[in-house]
Amino acid sequence: MELMNNYKETILIVDLDAKQCDTESLSEDMVAAGLGGAGITTALYEQYKDRDPLIIGTGFFTGTFMPGGCAGVVSAKSPVTGKLCHVPFGGYAAVELKLTGFDFVVVLGSSDSPVRLWLHDGLSDLDDAADIWGKDVWDSVDKIREAYGDEMIQLLVIGPAAEAQSKASQFSVNYWGSFDKSALGAVFGAKKLKAIALRGLDSLDVAEGFFGACVDLKNAICAGAISGKYGLKDIAKDIGIDAGAIEKLASMTHRNNAAYNCPYAAAAFVKYNEAPTAVDMKGHPAPGCLITDIQGFAALHGAGLDAGQAMEQCFRQGIEPEAAAKAGKTDGVSADAGKAGAFSTAVPVSIFGSGQGDAGWQKRQALAAVLGIDPMLMVMAPEITEAKIVELVQMSAEWDDFSAEELDRIASAVIAKSA
Positions in the binding site for another protein (CB under 8 A): 63-65, 67, 92, 99, 150-152, 174-175, 201-206, 211-212, 215, 218, 221-222, 254-263, 265, 269, 279-288, 290
User: In what helix (H) or strand (E) does residue 98 lie, and over which residues does it extend?
Assistant: helix 93-100
CB of 93 to another protein, least distance (A): 12
CB of 372 to another protein, least distance (A): 13
Q: How many CA atoms lie within 13 A of 205 on its CB side?
A: 14
Dihedral of CA atoms 255, 259, 265, 269 in degrees, nearest 10, equals -30
Of the two residues 215 and 387, which places its CB atom closer to another protein in the complex? Answer: 215
Of the two residues 291 and 415, which places its CB atom closer to another protein in the complex? Answer: 291
Of the two residues 273 and 356, which places its CB atom closer to another protein in the complex? Answer: 273
Of the two residues 219 and 334, which places its CB atom closer to another protein in the complex? Answer: 219
Name residues whose C-beta falls within 8 Å of residue 8's C-beta, 6 or more positions apart in sequence: 26, 98, 101, 102, 103, 202, 204
CB of 64 to another protein, least distance (A): 6
Of the two residues 276 and 360, which places its CB atom closer to another protein in the complex? Answer: 276
Angle subtended at Cα 91 by Cα 33 and Cα 102, rounded to the nearest 5 degrees: 45
CB of 291 to another protein, least distance (A): 11
CB of 153 to another protein, least distance (A): 10
Name residues whose C-beta falls within 8 Å of residue 243's C-beta, 6 or more positions apart in sequence: none
* Ramachandran quadrant class, 317 (left: phi over 0; alpha: psi -120 to 50; beta: rest): alpha
Three-class secondary structure of residue 156 per DSSP: strand
CB of 358 to another protein, least distance (A): 29
CB of 401 to another protein, least distance (A): 24
Of the two residues 25 and 219, which places its CB atom closer to another protein in the complex? Answer: 219
What is the distance between the alpha carbons of residues 246 and 233, in angstroms, rounded to a whole number? 6
Of the two residues 159 and 288, which places its CB atom closer to another protein in the complex? Answer: 288
Of the two residues 285 and 353, which places its CB atom closer to another protein in the complex? Answer: 285
Three-class secondary structure of residue 290 per DSSP: strand
- What does residue 76 show for φ and ψ, rounded to 5 degrees? -170, 170
CB of 141 to another protein, least distance (A): 9
CB of 20 to another protein, least distance (A): 30
- Locate the DSSP E strands across 301-414: none
Q: What are 24's strand-pairing partners?
A: 11
How far is the first Cα of the chain from the last one, in angstroms, to the nearest whole number? 31
What is the distance between the alpha carbons of residues 235 and 213, in angstroms, rounded to a whole number? 27
Secondary structure (DSSP) of 105-127:
EEEES--SS-EEEEEETTEEEEE
Three-class secondary structure of residue 132 per DSSP: coil
What is the distance between the alpha carbons of residues 395 and 153, in angstroms, rounded to a whole number? 31
Of the two residues 98 and 167, which places its CB atom closer to another protein in the complex? Answer: 98
